[in-house]
Structure 1
Amino acid sequence: MIAQQESRYGCNLVREYQNRLFRAHRLLYNEPQGDKCLHYRRSKAPIGFFRCSDHSTLEVGMSGVLEGVKVVEVGHVVAIPAAASMMGDCGADVVKVEPLTGDQSRTFRGSEINPGFYLHNRSKRAIAVNLKEEAGKKIVHQMVENADVFLTNYRLEALAKLGIDYETLAQINPRLIYGIVTAYGTTGPDKDMPGYDFAAGWARSGIQYMLTVPGYPPPTSRPGIIDRVSSMQIFGGIAAALFHRERTGEGQKVEFNLYHTGVWMVGADIMDALMGVPLRITDPSKSDNPFYDTYQTKDGRWLQLTAGDRYAAASDPTGRAFWTKFTKALDRPDLAEDPRFGTTADRQAHRSELKPILEEEFRKRTYAEWETRLRENDLMYGPILSPLDVIEDPQALANDFFAEIEQPGVGKMRLINQPIRFVQDPGRVRSTVPALGEHTDQVLAELGYSPEEIRELREKNVVR
């Protein structure tokens, strides 16, 4: 394998890998860059490969913190594709492997345009391969030989049948970082159960139960919430495994499951259950803390109050300073002297009386007026915005939440940037969302297939 790479890129990859380890060690431990230190420059080799260089200086401004990492994604829908796109945004060379019919989420909305698919599949290349054919398995195995990371959320049984389970791929590349997402984990009575995040992460985890208003049906989730939280866990877990491999040379299987992610997300309530504390069920008709409730303003807008009364006990034991600021914002000095609400404990004890007073006060002024008053008194709150509001929110725009691309077949469109910002080497949307099989010929050529061999594979329905 090494000899084959040497002939292709004209460089000794053993020496290269040793040099990369040396460079990582120097950067990790802040060692000085002497004249004899090895330096690197970006090469013109295919994305994801490096060439050795005799350059005497280190060129800065790399295109991402994961430049040089090769990722093979055999995933579908949200969790794995989203994580792979985050890695692609950070400079990794991600190749998405789809069946000949494509990732099922390409047409989730009943048309060729599914907005979510564009969010989860930018910054990567795409090939279409029939993994049920031996020739298709061979292609993916060849990709894995030189890959750093393999990501999948296929079911365990399918992975074994297709020859892309961890045990098989680790034999091909012992240094491989293999990330897998399941619904419920890889062991236990339900390890083979299918499940999207609605069932595994939202319903079973306790989130849906805790958000159910007494007397009403349990609320449904928004699409892909737990999947996208999982994608950030996957990104972090894979990055940690790559760091471990850089120090030890060891590959790693990294497991994630949607059920556990949901449990982590609702961790405060799960900890209450573990410690025998009564569960705090959401009930809008019974305020648990008036300063953490929602209020409607005169112009029909809503805000979420998060003014920390009982959580400021260390600096404001009786809550006097907080209550003075709050009543000033309300323009209700009489409340500041009302004995029912004198201390934090008093306000909690009389919260059923306080809540309607606050509701009435908030209805007297517009949202803009309340925004001014709450800010002037350094009180925490948040506007309740619709997605249409969010995409034009000045704060979101100032922090570069969105990117604009020219997507073939769609035209100009905006995408959400990933929420992790590397200040010195920022991630960015690096390429548009690929069409099904758009890079099949390119990737196969990089693996050494001739145009005739590629044409034959296509005729045999192995690739598209």
Structure 2
Amino acid sequence: MPGPMDGVRVVELAVWVAGPSAAGILCDWGADVIKIEPPEGDPFRGVMALLGVMGNNPPFQLDNRGKRSVALDLRTAEGRAIALQLVDRADVFISNLRPGALKRLGLDYESLCARNPRLIYAHVSGYGIDGADADRAAYDVGAFWSRAGVAAMITSPGAPLPLQRGGMGDHTAGSQLAGAVAAALYHRERTGQGQLVTASLARTGAYMIGWDLNTALLTGVAPVPYERLTFPNPLILNYPVKGGKWIWLLMLQGDRHWPDFCRAVGHEEWLHDPRFETLASRAQNAAALVRAIEAVLAERTLEEWGAIFDRHNVWWAPVQSLDEVVQDPVMAAAGAWVDVPTPDGTVKMVASPVDFHGTPWQPRAGAPEVGQHTEEVLLELGYDWDGIIALKEKGVVP
């Protein structure tokens, strides 16, 4: 099915994850995305090989399925001219190249909007497009995870910093940029004017821990990371259960849920224990309550506690491994997976996170090979085969 972005033309000049993920979401939603790559390809294509895994590249597939790949040597005047032709007929241009590099290529916002005033120019950076670090190299582990304070705020005092999983900040920033593109297209529909829209990994990280940072800004007191035995509400904490699994309690409104929880675990005497009677007293005696809950929950398995908690209206969630997640019918019902047609048959992949129930989307294909659609796109631009052969001979296209 075409999706809500059917008919929108997107040109992507981006590498690795943040920029390609934004274009990938728009592609899922039905946009025609042309991915401009150097002749050797987006470096993300080779990341699995660097890890010793040859062949399929699932992370690259997620962010690049359905796109058309055009390989161009942008170091040549002819290559840059072809890129400009693509932008001239595009609705959206997406990049995460550093501003200085885009300017040297003649693909900066000022140059492109002068050619195409209706263009939505979408840029995602490490640290924003203004300021001293606008051209500083960045990955999400640096700008989002490290510099924005995310890693520090989930690290207990004295503990080593946790390692980020790949793409966490990139996908968050990319999805924000895709939403910004949609809003800018709506504005253009009303006014006829394109515009520059930007996102950054650093700002995305700041927004993600915005509760903590806004507290620091408004009170002058910076929150500190939580510790297990001093967590202010032990009823919204994780606990090990019999069998080696973990359960996460979800009773944010502690006083509301406390009676149901006490009945569920068979300790109604806790209701009258002065240490635990109120949210405030439970916070003051958090260590004692955490240890008491740990001892009780260790007596039964996750499946046993799940059934008991459901009967007593106790809110909870299982802490799952990836193997459990992919087999979880709740994840499937939430639409977490999508079938993608590929030359080797239909495969199941992670879905991008939004559904449109009036204009449903469906991926058209897997990720393209490097330059797979170069000739196809050049023919659409009006080149004939003699012209394409001449470009190949000059090394402009592979």
What corresponds to 2:25 in structure 1? 86
What corresponds to 1:116 in structure 2? 59
Q: CA offset at residue 246 of structure 1?
A: 0.6
1:235 matched to 2:178: yes
What corresponds to 1:34 in structure 2? none
Q: Is the 8 A contact 1:71 1:92 kept in 2?
A: yes
Q: CA offset at residue 412 of structure 1?
A: 5.0
Deviations, residues 196-216 of structure 1 (Å, cap 9, x unaligned): 000001100011111122112
Find the aligned partners of 2:342 and 2:6 in 1 and give their Cα distance: 23
Q: CA offset at residue 389 of structure 1?
A: 1.1
Q: CA offset at residue 114 of structure 1?
A: 2.0
Find the aligned partners of 1:350 and 1:192 in 2 and give their Cα distance: 50
What corresponds to 2:236 in structure 1? 292
Query: Equivalences for 1:106-185 in 2 at 5 Å?
Result: 106-110=45-49, 111-185=54-128
Q: Is the 8 A contact 1:180 1:256 kept in 2?
A: yes
What corresponds to 1:354 in structure 2? 289
Q: Is the 8 A contact 1:82 1:231 kept in 2?
A: yes
What corresponds to 1:447 in structure 2? 381
Query: Equivalences for 1:282-431 in 2 at 5 Å?
Result: 282-310=226-254, 319=255, 321-408=256-343, 413-431=347-365
2:164 to 221, 224, 241: 221
Q: Is the 8 A contact 1:80 1:152 kept in 2?
A: yes
Q: Is the 8 A contact 2:232 2:282 kept in 1?
A: no
Q: CA offset at residue 285 of structure 1?
A: 4.1
Q: Are residues 330 and 103 of structure 1, via their aligned partners in 2, closer, same or farther at CA, if it must alter by over 3 Å?
A: same
SS at match of 2:137: coil
Find the aligned partners of 1:398 and 1:77 in 2 and give their Cα distance: 30
Find the aligned partners of 2:368 and 2:333 in 1 and give their Cα distance: 29
Deviations, residues 31-90 of structure 1 (Å, cap 9, x unaligned): xxxxxxxxxxxxxxxxxxxxxxxxxxxxxxx72111111000001111111111111111
Which shows bigger deviation, 107-116 or 414-423? 107-116
1:456 matched to 2:395: no
What is the identity, as a one-letter code, of the residue corresponding to 1:94?
A: V
What is the identity, as a one-letter code, of the residue corresponding to 2:251?
A: A
What corresponds to 1:17 in structure 2? none
Q: Is the 8 A contact 1:72 1:149 kept in 2?
A: yes
SS at match of 1:340: coil
Q: Are residues 66 and 102 of structure 1, via their aligned partners in 2, closer, same or farther at CA, if it must alter by over 3 Å?
A: same
Q: Is the 8 A contact 2:230 2:286 kept in 1?
A: no
1:211 matched to 2:145: no
Q: What's the TM-score, normalizing by structure 2?
A: 0.95
RMSD, aligned α-carbons: 1.5
Count of aligned positions: 393
SS at match of 1:279: coil
Q: CA offset at residue 381 of structure 1?
A: 1.6
Which shows bigger deviation, 420-429 or 357-366? 420-429
Q: Is the 8 A contact 1:417 1:429 kept in 2?
A: no
What corresponds to 1:281 in structure 2? 225
Find the aligned partners of 1:423 and 1:87 in 2 and give their Cα distance: 16
What corresponds to 1:270 in structure 2? 213
Which shows bigger deviation, 285-294 or 194-203? 285-294
What is the identity, as a one-letter code, of the residue corresponding to 1:305?
A: L
Find the aligned partners of 1:63 and 1:157 in 2 and give their Cα distance: 36
Q: Are residues 376 and 280 of structure 1, via their aligned partners in 2, closer, same or farther at CA, if it must alter by over 3 Å?
A: farther
What corresponds to 2:367 in structure 1? 433
Q: CA offset at residue 411 of structure 1?
A: 5.7
What corresponds to 1:39 in structure 2? none
Q: CA offset at residue 233 of structure 1?
A: 0.4
Q: Is the 8 A contact 1:106 1:112 kept in 2?
A: no
What is the identity, as a one-letter code, of the residue corresponding to 2:2?
A: S
Q: Is the 8 A contact 1:98 1:127 kept in 2?
A: yes
SS at match of 1:404: strand
SS at match of 1:194: coil
Find the aligned partners of 1:338 and 1:216 in 2 and give their Cα distance: 33
Which shows bigger deviation, 434-443 or 348-357? 348-357
SS at match of 1:341: coil
- Identify which of structures 1 and 2 has the higher relative contact order when contacts are C-alpha pairs closer than 8 Å and 6+ apart: 2
Which shows bigger deviation, 335-344 or 189-198? 335-344
Identity between Structure 1 and Structure 2 (%): 39
Q: Is the 8 A contact 1:94 1:124 kept in 2?
A: yes
Q: Runs of 5+ in structure 1 lacking a partner?
A: 1-61, 311-318
Q: Is the 8 A contact 1:105 1:114 kept in 2?
A: no
Find the aligned partners of 1:254 and 1:416 in 2 and give their Cα distance: 27
SS at match of 2:66: coil
1:191 matched to 2:130: no
2:43 to 87, 93, 104: 104
SS at match of 2:275: helix
What corresponds to 1:253 in structure 2? 196
Q: Decide which structure has the larger Cα Rg and report it.
A: 1
SS at match of 2:48: coil
Find the aligned partners of 2:372 and 2:337 in 1 and give their Cα distance: 25
Q: Is the 8 A contact 1:106 1:113 kept in 2?
A: no
Q: CA offset at residue 104 of structure 1?
A: 0.3
Q: CA offset at residue 353 of structure 1?
A: 1.4
Find the aligned partners of 1:176 and 1:405 in 2 and give their Cα distance: 30
Q: CA offset at residue 329 of structure 1?
A: 1.0
Q: What's the TM-score, normalizing by structure 1?
A: 0.82
Q: Is the 8 A contact 1:308 1:380 kept in 2?
A: no
Deviations, residues 304-356 of structure 1 (Å, cap 9, x unaligned): 1121234xxxxxxxx2x522101111111222222322222222222221111
